[in-house]
């Protein structure tokens, strides 16, 4: 089994190629908003360095959102196009789940609240706990909430770009202020998408390319910031 994993949902870009037991390739380009320029060259490099072809893949995994509107759209479009070209199944992975997986990889925390800055005084949020296969699984629904609502929804240590924007009542404030800098810097990469996708692929939890749709959570994600709030 070979899996190609793509992550461009949060203003950076990374690609990973794995087999059943190991990582064969990983590269991260952390320049903000450069996904359109970097994702295809990184995929090409992954295939070249591992002497692989798209036809060798068992599936393509991608971060389906929520996250940056353009980043999520790019990720889904590239995954769909590649999958269609070779009639491959696709594994959509929540960007919040990938963030929780990154937190486990980096800190060892087995329970976290993944929080991404959604702009406009809101965050994307969900609570996660580690399962017996080492995968962070959601305990509730992914939500788009304002800061106060998110603080009440937060059950565990908040991590991710939105963690500093909320003030959970159930977490020690001194502890939060001490470690918040580290928590906010945690970001998901294609490595985390690949880790989750390997387990899902073994269970054949995948979809056809046409079902590999982005998830925004915000219905008016296409609007520009100045247009928000104009509706009466």
In angstroms, rounded to a whole number, what is the distance separating the alpha carbons of residues 194 and 155?
A: 26
* 89 shares a domain with 29: yes
Domain assignment present for residue 15? The answer is yes
Domain assignment present for residue 63? The answer is yes
In angstroms, rounded to a whole number, what is the distance separating the alpha carbons of residues 29 and 13?
A: 5
CATH of the domain at 81: 3.30.420.40
What region, left, alpha or beta, does residue 22 occupy, with left being phi > 0 and alpha being psi -120 to 50 degrees? beta
Residue 211 CA, chain-centre distance (Å), reads 17
Give the pLDDT confidence of 71-114 residue by residue, as tens digits: 999 999 999 999 999 999 999 999 999 999 999 999 999 999 99
Give the pLDDT confidence of 1-10 residue by residue, as tens digits: 999 999 998 8
* 174 shares a domain with 70: no
Give me the half-sphere count of Cα atoms (radius 13 Å) on the Cβ side of residue 30. 5
The pLDDT score that the predictor gives to residue 228 is 41
Confidence grade of residue 179 (pLDDT, cut at 50, 70, 90): low
* 89 shares a domain with 199: yes
* 163 shares a domain with 207: no
Strands of 68-219 (E only): list them: 90-93, 111-119, 122-130, 136-138, 143-146, 157-159
Tell me which residue has tokens 């996708």. 197
Domain assignment present for residue 224? The answer is no
In angstroms, rounded to a whole number, what is the distance separating the alpha carbons of residues 53 and 85?
A: 12
Highest mean predicted confidence (pLDDT) among 28-32, 181-185, 223-227 = 28-32
Six-digit token string for 53? 């072809």
Give the pLDDT confidence of 62-83 residue by residue, as tens digits: 999 999 899 999 999 999 999 9
The count of domains in the chain is 2
| Rounded mean pLDDT, 202-213 | 94
Domain assignment present for residue 204? The answer is yes
First to last CA, the chain: 53
What region, left, alpha or beta, does residue 51 occupy, with left being phi > 0 and alpha being psi -120 to 50 degrees? left
* 150 shares a domain with 67: no
* 116 shares a domain with 160: yes
Rg (CA), the chain: 17
Domain that holds residue 150: 95-185
């Amino acid at each position: 089994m070979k899996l190609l994993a793509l992550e461009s949902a949060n203003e950076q870009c990374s690609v990973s190629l794995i087999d059943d037991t190991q990582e064969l390739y990983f590269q991260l380009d952390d320049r903000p908003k450069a996904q359109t320029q970097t994702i295809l060259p990184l995929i090409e490099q992954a295939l070249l360095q591992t002497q692989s072809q798209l036809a060798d893949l068992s599936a393509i995994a991608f971060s389906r959102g929520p996250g940056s509107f353009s980043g999520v759209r790019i990720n889904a479009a590239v995954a769909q196009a590649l999958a269609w070209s070779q009639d491959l199944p696709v594994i959509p992975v929540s960007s919040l789940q990938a963030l929780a997986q990154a937190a486990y990889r980096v800190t060892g925390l087995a329970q976290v609240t993944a929080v991404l800055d959604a702009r406009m005084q809101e965050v994307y949020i969900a609570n996660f706990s580690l399962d017996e296969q080492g995968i962070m699984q959601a305990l509730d629904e992914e939500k788009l909430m304002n800061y106060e609502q998110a603080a009440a929804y937060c059950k565990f240590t908040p991590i991710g770009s939105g963690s500093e924007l909320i003030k959970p009542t159930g977490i020690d404030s001194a502890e939060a202020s001490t470690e918040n800098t580290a928590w906010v810097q945690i970001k998901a990469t294609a490595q985390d998408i690949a880790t989750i996708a390997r387990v899902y692929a073994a269970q054949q939890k995948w979809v056809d390319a046409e079902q590999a749709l982005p998830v925004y959570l915000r219905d008016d994600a296409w609007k520009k910031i100045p247009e928000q709030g104009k509706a009466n």
